[in-house]
Amino acid sequence: GMVGGQALDMAEEGRSLRQQEMERLQALKTGALIAAAAEMGCIAAGGDELERAAVRRYAQKLGLAFQIRDDMLDVVGDEQTLG
């Protein structure tokens, strides 16, 4: 999950990652958290298994997009602006 992704991220810091490794890392971080939250919302709303799967896929992709942007900001962002 997210903690494992963060631990892996810290362990791999400074090392060039292959695309597959980077995608796995990004999916484990924010993607896992957003997917879990979205799926719980779907369950609370009475969603069936197909709806839950669709929400989970969407949320994983949203989390991946967020994580890619966050990682890019780590490289090119201004620390004073980002905090």
What is the distance between the alpha carbons of residues 70 and 24, in angstroms, rounded to a whole number? 15
Is pLDDT above 70 for 83?
no
What is the distance between the alpha carbons of residues 4 and 7, in angstroms, rounded to a whole number? 5
Please give the average per-residue pLDDT across 5-30, as a whole number: 70
The pair of three-digit structure tokens given for residue 20, joined into one six-digit string: 């597959």
Please give the average per-residue pLDDT across 29-37, as a whole number: 86
Question: Confidence band (pLDDT; 50, 70, 90) for 47?
Answer: very high
pTM, two decimals, is 0.67
Find the DSSP H helices in 1-83: 2-11, 19-26, 32-44, 49-76, 79-82
